[in-house]
Amino acid sequence: MPRWSSFDGAADRRLVQGLNGGDRTSLAALYDAYAERLFDYCLSMTGEKKTAVDIVHDTFIDAWRRAPRMRDQMRLGSWLYAAARRRCLQRGRARHLHWEAGPDFADALPADCTADAESRPEPPPAAELSALLERSLARLDASDQELLLLSVRHGLRPADIGAALGLSARRAAARTGRARSLLCAAYEAEQAVYARCCPGAGRAGDAAATRRHGGRPRRAVGVLTARRSSAAVASHARDDGDGRAHHEDCPACRRRRRVEVGALLVHAPSPVLPAALRHRVMHTATDPELAGYRIDIAARGGTLTPDGMPSQPDVPSPYTRRWLFAGGGMAGALVTALVAALLIGPGLPPSTISWPPFRTHPQPAVTPDRQNNGRPDTGGQSGGRPPLAQAPAAPGVPAGPSPQPTSTGAYRVSPTPSPTSPASPSPTPPAPEPPASPGIPTVVPAKVELYGTKTAQVRLTAENGPVVWSSVSSSDRISVSPAQGSLEKGDSIDLTVTLHTTFLNPPGQGTVTFVADDGPSRKLDVVWGFYII
């Protein structure tokens, strides 16, 4: 039976401080306090004694080097269990928990049955109790078995279990409670299996049938007894008519049911720690010639978490969980947007907004005629502005023509001509400028071959005049960046032609057409080869 003391936070802190200072006595004290625990845990997880010895040795050497890095120095026990667990998973854990053959499970009986040696009932056989415990645990998953091993047998609290397994204390407590409930249900099911196979089941049924029928012989009620016995074997706890189950009449079943499954797990045989392991640990930790060996052992222990605990291979790191959560959120938002676009996209009207505004053209300015054969416009002429009402002139001020609007919307007052001055001739309007000749886009080179690459550079030049251009691809696998723009006469721009590929891409070809608004267009041939991503 294991005789392990509970964790002492103050003692663990002193041990961590001693390890940080390189004190050999602290390492010896650490081994004496935790070696039996770790050896029992590793042997239960791996099922091989030699493997368990090597894991315990490497765990203490790793603790000698890296245990002082933990943030909470009172979690030394959790640190050791976490380091041993990582190595057990790397070596390959057993499918079921393992214990060596040992003495019987007499200590697993309740205390009221062991008070007096004379009145103490005979305990069930050790092989029967061992098989009952192993079959009950075999009904559970490996993770639940490990939680029961740490919480029930080794006495770790939920916070210590969470620190060792890389879980929160709340989640560790919930999973531990669930594992205990499953173990109790599995134990009851195994008890029912043993009751159905018990040799005393038939005899107890015959005696109960005889009592119900007033002491009549068995042959008088043979058929009835056979039917009721078969129904009782099919159930977990058979009622014999007097309100008592079979296990209350059968001494063997009664002794089995008085044993609790938690007591079986606690008092299972504990393995004997090899005596030479302590000397091996101290020699490896203190020999100067084994410095490289110690570094190699620590490297096999994996990385440490931000709290300084050994990371577990089956638990993602906090950074990985954060990226997975963010990636899941972005994927969900993308799927939602695609579904919304598929549902409401076909019913949307075409967009009337063009962005960027590369295809806008200057509009001619509308200016009113200010002269008409030397006279101001009148309201009766075509295209003229109606005359404005003139305010009466002040006394002594000659009346003059009304002010005329300018091209900017302001009004100016024409000077009053003198009666003796001749009329000034009307200005001649400027001749309209001839329209600019349309530009021609030219692209160099005229053909792009994408073999072994996904991008290529081409140059677009505006010849003979300005060009407002845009690009149109014949295949959705080809894109041009930028896709449109405007160039002055003689200007050039470098464009990037990109090939969009998937996992498996057969060879093909396509064209990119550069279209000018007021001129001819030019084509660019694109050829690509076979790609495998």
Peptide bond into 445 cis (omega under 30): yes
- Residue 263: phi and psi, rounded to 5, are -65, -35
Instruction: Select the more confidently predicted residue: 483 or 106.
Output: 483
Model pTM score:
0.54
Residues 162, 182: Cα–Cα separation, whole Å: 20
pLDDT category, 145, cuts 50, 70, 90? very high
Whether residue 18 contacts residue 25, with contact meaning beta carbons closer than 8 Å, is answered with yes
Closest-CA residue to 297 (of 101, 526, 520, 66): 66
C-alpha closest to that of 413 among 370, 367, 383: 370
Written in H, E and C, the secondary structure of 218-280 is HHHHHHHHHHHHHHHHHCCCCECCCCCEHHHHCHHHHHHHCCCHHHHHHCCCCCCCCCHHHHH
- Among 113-117, 296-300, 396-400, the least confident range: 113-117
Nearest CA to 96 among 154, 138, 153, 33? Answer: 138
Check residue 336 and give its pLDDT.
Answer: 86
CATH 2.60.40.10 is held by the domain 440-532: yes
| In the chain, domain spans | 440-532
Chain segment 71-81, per-residue pLDDT in tens = 988 899 999 99
Contact (CB, 8 A) for 130 and 105: yes
Query: What is the rounded CA–CA span in Å between residue 108 and residue 121?
Result: 13
Q: What percent of the chain has pLDDT over 70?
A: 64
pLDDT in tens, 301-322: 999 998 899 999 888 765 565 6
pLDDT surpassing 70 at residue 121: no
d(C-alpha 517, C-alpha 413), whole Å: 44
Give per-residue pLDDT as tens, 38-54.
999 999 999 899 999 99
Of 272, 274, 308, 223, nearest in space to 19 by CA: 308
- With tokens 């041939």, the residue in question is 525
Confidence band of 397 (pLDDT split at 50, 70, 90): very low
- Six-digit token string for 331: 């994927």
d(CA 483, CA 500): 15
